[in-house]
Amino acid sequence: MKEFSLYAITGEEFHPGKNVVDVMEEAIIGGADIIQLRDKTGSKREVLEKAQALRELTLKHNVIFIVNDHIDVAMAVNADGIHLGQDDLPLTEARKITGKDMIIGISTHHIDEAKAAEKEGADYIGAGPVFATNSKADVTSPVTTDYIKQVKAEISIPFVAIGGIKRHNVDEVLEAGAERICMISEISGAEDVRSVCMELRAKLEGGN
């Protein structure tokens, strides 16, 4: 998969009254180079409609598009990839459905999970939650920046730090070795999404 550094996940509950495509376009213009559709409550048809719109958007801007959980939706809209949690379809089984070309990302909370994902052929992993987060109802306890350091030292595939990362603590995550960060509420819920992403992108690129 092509390189990325700022990973934005949809969080429609954080921007009531705003269209998800408009919010994600602002994120992309600000510097997000990978977008994930995450919808745990919509019907399959609703998820498909959002995926179609976001696929069109991401093609327009030439950024990576990932669908969370819904392999059938990802394949229907020709998304770049899917992201799976530890309780979702196992990676090896998912690969039988998607074929070898689709990106598969895996959420990990422990180095054993990270090593298993790497061994089974994940294209990237999520490492987290680094800090406590309210963006997900099913989250595990914070893994802290110690896990980021461990993944950095022991895992060779790309990893993205996720979970409770905000502008005020992102420097800690970068100092621990993360080169890619992922956010839901800090981006989706921002009053000025574009400016927030520009600020984060500057940090990722070594600015202030």
Cβ contacts of 195-202, under 8 Å, gap ≥ 24:
195/30, 196/30, 196/167, 197/6, 197/8, 197/26, 197/27, 197/28, 197/29, 197/30, 197/31, 197/32, 198/30, 198/31, 199/167, 200/6, 200/31, 200/167, 200/170, 201/5, 201/6, 201/30, 201/31, 201/32
From CA 146, how far away is CA 144, in angstroms rounded?
Answer: 5
136 is catalytic: yes
Spot the catalytic one: 50, 136, 180, 194.
Answer: 136
Spot the catalytic one: 38, 50, 180, 194.
Answer: 38
156 is catalytic: no
Spot the catalytic one: 5, 50, 55, 107.
Answer: 107
Active site residues: 38, 107, 136
